[in-house]
Structure 1
Amino acid sequence: MAIQSETELYAPIKSFLERQGYVVRAEVKHCDLVAIRGDEPPVIIELKKSFTIPLLVQGLERMKLTEQVYVAFELPAKGRAPHRLRWDDISRLCRMLGLGVITVQFFQRKAPLVDIVCEPTPYTPRSNKRAALRIVNEFRERSGDYNIGGSTRQKLMTAYREKALHCVYLIKQHGPLSPKSLRELTGNSAVNGLLQKNYYRWFERKGRGIYDITLQGTAALSEYKHVLPGLTTLDNSQLPAQENS
């Protein structure tokens, strides 16, 4: 059940903390909730009806006062993370910011359920050198910038698609070719796997070690004609002698 105001979060969170030995006060120096247990540093919790960027900004501001800062909001219906995110995404984001996360789930016939999704502990993301290298390689292997940033549900011109398109173009120009010839013409050592996998269904095997293009491959030349000028192309004189005769 959706709450009408963030003030509805206060009572269940206060009860939750009091059961852990905290003394809780509301609206202390503009902080929504402050809890102190003995001589421990204060815990500050900022309340909002839902997970928002302003809530994160508010939490970051409170980190000037203590390291124990949480952002709290209602658990959305069916327990799904807000904004089509995963709970792991929200937890990772808040941990990277040094913030803890508390959710409160409300029911019609039983007491609200308070859950600490993550604690406000220091977090250092681990770098993924292999993934970073894949980005650099993909960037360098593209012949140009053929996509629009932010596109969704669109066919992207990747380095792999460019390499396949290059093979289609060469076969269209020279007729059926062998993987060896295509490897020499394109400089792509992975041509064999590209032809055998045939991910886009652009190629068909015409004989032992000879490949032609399909109707889909011909259509791809028209669909991606704006990419062709950026690809490396060779003329007939550079074909292997046995296939140029």
Structure 2
Amino acid sequence: MHNNLKESDLYTPIKQFLTNLGYQVKGEIKSCDIVAIKDDEVIIIELKLTLNITLLLQSIDRFSLADIVYIAIPKQSAIYKKKQKQVKKLVARLGLGLMVVDIQKEHAYVEVIRDPKEYTPQKNKRKQKALLKEFHQRQGDTQKGGSTTRKAGLTAYRQRSIRIAEYMKTLSSCTGMQVNKAIQEPQATQFLYNNHYGWFNKVSRGVYALSEKGKTELVEWQQKDIVATQ
């Protein structure tokens, strides 16, 4: 984005764009960056060089003056270039419209990315199903909200792995079917085969033993599991 770009540089191309659509356009009316009127329709546009909380709060406040409110940012804005999909969702959720101004050397082009309208977010059923599955399968509250996701957490998957490892720690080897019968873990064979944490060694076809890594890490994770389920 141009280093010397100012918010006012967005005004002229947007004014020209709206004027061509038949609107009367004026700037800085009662602290509104742009007000455009055609017949009984009133539009307010707030200008910023980037999308930030100040712009969003300011724009939401404009609904007390008009039913149609847009925010306008340069197309070259870093957050728009990197997070375009999320920006569109956020603006839609707030009931705002979105314009971007593509500033070139000779000309500036205005694009209406989204017109304001009622927004009903579409749920991702697959992701929601995974969310609910993890919530209901996890025993206790195992990790503080807001803690870093880079640190391994006590997920439902790990809790199930702990139960399998606890059963196997006194056995030289066993099959997934044996584990399932003993602790009612229907996916025991899959857990042993996938060996996600490196806790199980394959002895022969369908037969597994607890690995040295599994024995060592099991003690640490058992303590975390006890604390989480208290």
Q: Which amino acid aligns with 2:150?
A: R
Q: Does 1:224 align with 2:221?
A: yes
Q: Which amino acid aligns with 1:122?
A: E
Query: 1: distance between equivalents of 2:108 and 2:19?
Result: 15
Residue 194 of structure 2 is matched in structure 1 by 197
Contact 1:69 1:120 in 2 (8 A): yes
Residues 102-157 of structure 1: CA distance to partner in whole angstroms, max 9, x if unpaired? Answer: 122323x2212322221111111234555444333312222233323221322122
Query: 2: distance between equivalents of 1:231 and 1:126?
Result: 34
Query: 2: distance between equivalents of 1:152 and 1:3?
Result: 38
The residue matched to 2:64 in structure 1 has which SS?
Answer: coil
| Distance change >3 Å, CA 61–CA 228, structure 1 → 2 | closer
Contact 2:192 2:200 in 1 (8 A): yes
Residue 112 of structure 2 is matched in structure 1 by 116
Contact 1:98 1:123 in 2 (8 A): yes
Q: Does 1:176 align with 2:173?
A: yes
Residue 207 of structure 1 is matched in structure 2 by 204
Contact 1:3 1:49 in 2 (8 A): no
Alignment of 1:39-118 (within 5 A): 39-76=39-76, 81=80, 86-107=83-104, 109-118=105-114
Contact 2:50 2:79 in 1 (8 A): no
Contact 1:3 1:74 in 2 (8 A): no
Q: Which amino acid aligns with 2:22?
A: G
Residue 36 of structure 2 is matched in structure 1 by 35
The residue matched to 2:87 in structure 1 has which SS?
Answer: helix
Contact 1:2 1:76 in 2 (8 A): no
Residue 18 of structure 2 is matched in structure 1 by 17
Identify which range, 51-60 or 194-203, moves more after superposition: 194-203
Contact 2:199 2:211 in 1 (8 A): yes
Q: Which amino acid aligns with 2:208?
A: Y
Contact 1:35 1:44 in 2 (8 A): yes
Residue 187 of structure 1 is matched in structure 2 by 184
Instruction: Figure out how many residues of one structure are paired with residues of the other and give that number.
Output: 227
Q: Which amino acid aligns with 1:32?
A: D
Residue 160 of structure 2 is matched in structure 1 by 163
The residue matched to 1:24 in structure 2 has which SS?
Answer: strand
Query: 1: distance between equivalents of 2:169 and 2:113?
Result: 58
Query: 2: distance between equivalents of 1:33 and 1:228?
Result: 58
TM-score with structure 1 length normalisation? 0.81
Identify which range, 15-24 or 214-223, moves more after superposition: 214-223
1:66, distance to aligned residue in structure 2 (A): 2.4
Residue 143 of structure 1 is matched in structure 2 by 139
Query: Unaligned 5+ residue runs, structure 2?
Result: none
